[in-house]
Amino acid sequence: MKIVILGCGRVGATLATMMDREGHTVSVIDYSNEAFRRLEPDFGGTTVIGNGVDEEILIRAGIKEADAFAAVTNGDNRNIMASQIAKEIFNVKKVVCRIYDPIRQSTYNELGLEAICPTVIGAQMLFKALSSDKEHGKEAKE
C-alpha cells in the first residue's frame, strides 16, 4: 500500500515507522526538516518538506498514487483541510485524520469522515485505569 502521512510529530513518526516495517511505501510531509529526526534510523520511506495543504507538496509526496492518507499534524483544522483535499481532490480511498477537539471530531464523523480523537481515548483509558484495581502498566503498552 502507498501511504502519505502529513505531520512528523511523535504520532506521525511512530505511524510512519510502523507502516514502513509492515512493507508499505511511506511518504511523510512536515514543514520542518527537524521533525524527520523522529523517524527511526532504518526508516525506508521518503520525506517531503512543505505545507500539507499545498497541493503541489501533496503531489510531490505521491498523493496521486496513494492508497491511504493520514493527517496527524498538531492542528485540527489543518488535518481536516488536508484530509478533505486528499479525499475530494485526489480521491484517496482511505483517509484518516487526528482531531484533538472532541466536538470537531463528532462533527467530522457525522460527515461520514474518519477521525480519531486522542483526547477522548486518553480520558477513557485514564478513567478505566482509575476505576480498576488491577495493574494497568503493561496493558497500557499493548
Q: Which residues bind a second copy (CB under 8 A)?
A: 1, 3, 10-11, 14-15, 18-19, 22, 68, 70, 72, 94, 96, 98, 100-102, 105-106, 108-109, 112-127, 129-131, 133, 135-138, 140-141
Nearer to a second copy (CB atom), residue 46 or residue 107? 107
Nearer to a second copy (CB atom), residue 56 or residue 90? 90
The number of CA neighbours under 13 Å toward the Cβ of 51 is 5
Minimum CB separation from a second copy for residue 39, in Å?
A: 13
Contact 97, 80 (CB under 8 A): yes
- From 73, 72, 56, 61, select the one nearest 25 (Cα to Cα): 61
Nearer to a second copy (CB atom), residue 59 or residue 123? 123
Minimum CB separation from a second copy for residue 24, in Å?
A: 9
Nearer to a second copy (CB atom), residue 41 or residue 56? 41
The residues pairing with 96 across neighbouring beta strands, listed in sequence order, are: 70, 114
Minimum CB separation from a second copy for residue 77, in Å?
A: 16
Task: Determine the Cα–Cα distance for residues 75 and 99; give it in Å rounded to an integer.
Answer: 8
Contact 70, 64 (CB under 8 A): no
